[in-house]
Amino acid sequence: MIKLLLVSFFICSIVSFVLLIQVIRKKISFWRFCVYMVIQLLLGFIFFYKTIPRIESRFRNIKHHVVVRSKDCDCKKNDLIKNDYKTVHRPMAIKVTNNGLILDHKVLKKRIKLKKLVNVVEGDGFYMINAKNSEQCLTPLAEKRLKELGLLFRSLIENEENKKDYFVISSMTRTEAQQENIRKLYPRAATKGFSTHSYGVSFDISEIISFGKCSSAQKALKLALSKMQSEKKILLCPETKCIHVTVIK
């Protein structure tokens, strides 16, 4: 995002300089130059208006994360009820999205344009890692469930020192091409066959960042996940290093 802003600023500067040269050479009138500049400023304002909140959120979270915290507060040790991946998670992903498999980035961009996928920004109770083979977007329903889980997690924390704890999302939507790339690099880390990540309805929780007692944060997360599972809002599949979550319509 920052690179995009810098590139945009550079291009606008070049365009402005070229137009100014044209004015000096009297190839275009000064008033026309002013019209071009106003249009450029308006377009720039619209672009920055939409992107600055996301950048501000990212920097705010980065600043928040560089602190001393409890170590090894992972999601490995849990006794959550597992919903079978092949017979429950995968059919649900197909059902919820009407078999909307995201094969590649072309399909991904089309889904975002049609608002069948939305960009996800950090919210209360959760933070996202910029994973190489994962896109920070979900279906509107999945985003809604994630935000609900984050708020529920925070509300169930009992210790005051844990009130700012949050869980980390290590993976969201992956195109089938990205999924295939993961299979090649890490054969044991990616499911054979179509992944629910390739439907935009799943996310992985890898750890909890705790500023108090890790056990208190783990308890709150377990309660939040179990509650939403019992309410038939999400499916769970605890894995070796994370908790895989698929939303239910």
Chain segment 63-106, per-residue pLDDT in tens? 444 444 455 688 876 789 999 999 999 999 999 999 999 999 99
Check residue 191 and give its pLDDT: 63
Give me the pLDDT at residue 66, please: 43
Secondary structure percentages of the chain, helix, strand, coil, to 5: 50, 15, 35
pLDDT of 38 strictly over 70: yes
What are the contacts of 39-46 at 24+ separation with CB within 8 A? 40/12, 40/15, 40/16, 44/8, 44/12
Within 8 A by CB and 6+ apart from 41, the residues are: none
pLDDT-derived band at 6, boundaries 50, 70, 90: low
Q: Cα torsion for 5, 11, 15, 18, to the nearest 10°? A: 140
Are 141 and 201 spatial neighbours (Cβ–Cβ below 8 Å)? yes
- 174: Cβ–Cβ under 8 A, 6 or more apart, which residues? 102, 133, 134, 135, 182, 195, 197, 198
Q: Give the pLDDT mean for 48-75.
A: 54
Identify the band that residue 25 occupies on the pLDDT scale cut at 50, 70 and 90: confident
Q: Which residue has the higher pLDDT, 133 or 168?
A: 168
- Which residues make beta-bridge pairs with 138? 118
Element (H, E) at 127: strand 126-128
Three-class secondary structure of residue 189 per DSSP:
coil
pTM score above 0.85: no
In the chain, the N- to C-terminal Cα span, in Å, equals 32
Amino acid code (one letter) for 139: T
208: three-class secondary structure by DSSP: strand
Task: Report percent pLDDT > 70 for the chain.
Answer: 80
The third-level CATH classification (topology) of the domain covering 85-247 is: Muramoyl-pentapeptide Carboxypeptidase; domain 2 (3.30.1380)
Average of per-residue pLDDT across 131-152: 94
Output the CA angle 122-230-222, nearest 5 degrees.
55
